[in-house]
């Protein structure tokens, strides 16, 4: 495909978009080079047949707001979101939606266009979660377009992303956790034990300062979390409103922490540059966690936990101890009890045992 400059017999210029369709050379002419370039991109994005349909709807490719210009305007108008989230949305537009759908006039965008885009990502090997994130972003932007009067309906609304297998959560039993803890270098054991006891997210735990801990009451106040964006790490609010919370932690765990520095958990190696700074996962995971798991597996651990699995382990211990799910929700800082039920409900077999007892009583009334 290409755009070629041409002149008519009367000397007036025009631009010819050439492409192949069903094995034949075809062309469409435009009086405007900008429109010719857009039509050329449109053919590349959606094919010649769909490009012609779009032109019939829009009369000309540039009439009306395009998907690209609307998404850029939508991104620029977002308020109250984190810098990292906005950077991700802009990357979706630059790398995914712009090249795939960007030159379609917004009011001509169809459900089939979006479904084709999703199917193309799936065939290219994108994960179901990645596809869902991008689909949800597009759907939100189109919902805003409906609200702004740019669209009469949201063509993305009923399109589902492919299902995907979530990574299996690892729940460590008490003996398994001890094997792992013993395999962690001594300096880092208080951090690992704190993560398992508190159920804190990594970003919350590593943002803690000594003043956040009331050792006498055994309470840690979670009010900050690390965020990442174009400018690197920055302190912000935790994931949800419910994530701002007090967490009760055993005093035996709190007594092992170092309260002498600016941060509760710092890098090891006093005297080294950056040693007193907060711990970062990109350093901790390969240099501390992965080697510790490898040593633990040599010592008999059969599971391969990730750092975040310490949070899952905390939840499983609470449920195994008979703590009600609302208490687990508060401890972990879930915004909704539904999240707790969805993630950990299968671990709570008390209702299931009650069901079995009820059925058993009906089958064996003499018992």
CA dist., res. 121 & res. 200, Å (int): 34
Q: How many domains does the chain have?
A: 3
Predicted confidence (pLDDT) per residue in 266-293, tens digit:
987 554 555 678 999 999 999 999 999 9
Last residue of a domain, one of 44, 61, 78: 61
């537009």: which residue's tokens?
Answer: 93
Domain residues for 79? Answer: 64-166
Last residue of a domain, one of 109, 131, 166: 166
Cβ atoms of residues 30 and 64 within 8 Å: no
Element (H, E) at 329: helix 325-332
Amino acid 60: pLDDT: 53
321 shares a domain with 178: yes
Closest CA to 292 of 178, 175, 181: 181
Residues shown for the chain: 367
159 shares a domain with 296: no
**Which 3 state secondary structure label does DSSP give 316?**
helix
Beta bridge partner(s), residue 50: none
CA atoms within 13 A on the CB side of 343: 23
102 shares a domain with 214: no
Element (H, E) at 3: strand 2-7
Predicted confidence (pLDDT) per residue in 48-83, tens digit:
888 888 877 655 555 668 999 999 999 998 877 777
Closest CA to 202 of 66, 56, 75, 310: 310
Lowest mean pLDDT, pick from 1-10, 54-63, 170-179, 202-211: 54-63
CATH number for the domain including 132?
1.10.150.130
300 shares a domain with 189: yes
CA dihedral 315, 319, 323, 327 (to 10 degrees): 30
Residue 170: Cβ within 10 Å count: 16
Predicted confidence (pLDDT) per residue in 193-220, tens digit:
999 999 999 999 999 999 999 999 999 9
Residue 358 lies in a domain: no
Six-digit token string for 354 = 């009650």
Last residue of a domain, one of 166, 192, 209: 166
């919370």: which residue's tokens?
Answer: 245
Residue 367 lies in a domain: no
Average pLDDT over residues 17-41: 84
262 shares a domain with 179: yes
310 shares a domain with 198: yes
Q: Name every residue whose Cβ is closer than 8 Å to that of residue 249 and which is 6 or more positions away in sequence.
A: 194, 197, 198, 218, 219, 220
Amino acid 234: pLDDT: 83
219 shares a domain with 81: no
Residue 299 lies in a domain: yes
51 shares a domain with 68: no
Average pLDDT over residues 334-349: 72
């Amino acid at each position: 495909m290409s755009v070629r400059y041409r002149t008519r017999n009367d000397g007036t210029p025009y631009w010819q978009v050439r492409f192949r369709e069903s094995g034949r050379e075809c062309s469409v002419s435009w009086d405007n080079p900008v429109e010719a370039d857009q039509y050329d991109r449109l053919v590349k994005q959606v094919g010649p047949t769909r490009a012609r349909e779009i032109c019939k709807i829009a009369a000309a490719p540039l009439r009306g707001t395009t998907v690209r210009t609307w998404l850029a305007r939508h991104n620029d108008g977002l308020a109250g979101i984190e810098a990292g989230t906005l950077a991700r949305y802009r990357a979706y537009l630059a790398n995914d939606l712009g090249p795939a759908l960007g030159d379609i006039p917004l009011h001509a965008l169809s459900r089939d266009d979006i479904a084709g885009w999703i199917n193309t990502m799936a065939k290219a090997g994108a994960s179901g979660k990645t596809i869902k994130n991008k689909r949800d972003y597009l759907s939100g932007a189109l919902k805003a377009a409906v609200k702004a009067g740019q669209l009469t309906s949201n063509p993305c609304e009923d399109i589902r992303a492919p299902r995907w297998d979530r990574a299996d959560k690892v729940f460590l039993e008490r003996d398994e956790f001890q094997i792992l803890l013993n395999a962690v270098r001594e300096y880092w054991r208080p951090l690992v034990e704190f993560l398992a006891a508190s159920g804190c997210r990594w970003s919350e735990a590593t943002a803690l300062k000594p003043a956040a801990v009331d050792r006498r009451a055994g309470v840690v106040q979670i009010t900050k979390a690390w965020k990442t964006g174009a400018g690197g790490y920055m302190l912000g609010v935790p994931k949800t409103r419910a994530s701002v919370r007090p967490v009760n932690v055993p005093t035996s765990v709190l007594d092992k922490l170092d309260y002498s520095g600016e941060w509760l958990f710092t890098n090891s190696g006093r005297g080294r540059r950056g040693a007193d700074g907060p711990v970062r996962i990109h350093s901790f995971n390969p240099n501390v966690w992965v080697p510790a798991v490898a040593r633990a597996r040599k010592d008999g651990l059969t599971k391969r936990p990730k750092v975040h699995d310490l949070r899952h382990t905390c939840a499983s211990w609470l449920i195994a101890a008979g703590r009600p799910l609302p208490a687990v929700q508060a401890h972990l800082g879930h915004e909704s009890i539904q999240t707790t039920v969805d993630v950990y409900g299968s671990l709570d077999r008390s209702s299931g045992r009650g069901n079995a007892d009820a059925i058993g009583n009906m089958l064996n009334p003499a018992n």
